[in-house]
A and B are shown apart, each in its own frame.
Chain A
Amino acid sequence: METPLTRWLCLGCGFSYDEALGLPEHGLPPGTRWADVPDDWVCPDCGTPKGQFEMVEMGYSEGGADLARIA
């Protein structure tokens, strides 16, 4: 069974990374697993290193996923 897609939150500013959405504008296509995000990758908003993200089990508010897609 495939591992469910996960969501991660930057502890420096709250920016979220969603494996399902990726960050296409930053070279991470939708479906990019967190483990496959480069170790030297940093938060695009605040520069916090990858190791300072926390996995979160949280849903989006109404319409939130569409906003996250263009964040």
Chain B
Amino acid sequence: MSKSFVLRAGERGHDVIYSDGSASSYVAGHPGSHISRESSFNFHQYQDGRPGFGTVRVFGDEVFNGAGCGYNMHPHHNFIICAFVLEGELTHINTAGRGMVDQLRQGDYYVFSAGSGGKHCELSISPENMNAIYLWLMPGQLYLPPSYHRAHFDIRTRRNRIVQLVGDADSALPVAQDLRVSRLVTDRAGRFTYTPRTPEHGVYVFVAEGGATVNGAVLARRDSMGITGAGALALDVPDSSDIFFVETAMLDDARIRAWEKAHGADLLD
């Protein structure tokens, strides 16, 4: 049986973290620099909505405001962290492997598996603000060897079809999890079908730009929707749209189940 929820853009957890005051060791930049973050799912104490979806624990729509703004060097374990740069430029300093300094621009994305331990620093050093989608995933195992992969989604040559960015498809970045991330950028209206690996896999659809009607649900810019048990999704998409699909195994998670029970939602049951 198909189950779903719709999360409107304005219903997401919202927070603004300034580079001065109590968060100054965490957030980089001159006084006045700030990170604004819209969280679809858990961002620990900053968000009290749905705590996750399948293996996804964070889905953050973040803007680094002001030159030099970002996150100072900080540690991670275990989580698989992905970033998809929508606007601006992201300088990413990462200790995985021999370590690297990466610069990501529109269309670039990375998959950083923190595994047994890694540190990273993320900065917007150009004058423009940086907007990226951040995805945090539960790994398949604890303490995997840390890894970092990056790629580019060429918006000019890959329009009007659903392209897998992360997962098991040709040229997709690998991930140690039962998960796929795909993206659809349109410059003309059309009907598209997204078919998950099995009907039991959940699909989280996020409209970065434009809009979409997904199995009858009308989504506007930055609205999103989670669906399980639906099989193929039918999408009607207007021109100039940019849509992300996160397909994930649905874990039976006590924390998510408790939240759903408390909020009268029953995606898992």
Q: Report which A residues bind B (CB closer than 8 A).
A: 7, 9-16, 45-46, 48-49, 52, 54-56, 58-61, 63-65, 67-68, 71
Contacts and interface: CB of A to CB of B under 8 A. Distances in A.
A58 B142 contact: yes
Most buried by B among A46, A54, A68, A71: A54
A56 B138 contact: yes
A61 B144 contact: yes
Interface stretch (B2-10, B70-78, B179-187): B70-78
B44 A61 contact: no
B74 A61 contact: no
B92 interface: no
Contacts of B139: 58
Interface residues of B, number: 26
Contacts, number: 75
B45 A71 contact: no
A11 B42 contact: yes
Contact of B141 (A9, A12, A59): A59
9 contacts: A14-B77, A14-B136, A16-B78, A52-B45, A54-B57, A61-B115, A61-B142, A61-B145, A64-B142
A71 B117 contact: yes
B114 interface: yes
A1 B246 CA distance: 40
A46 B57 contact: no
Interface string B103-142: 0000000000011110000000000000000001011111
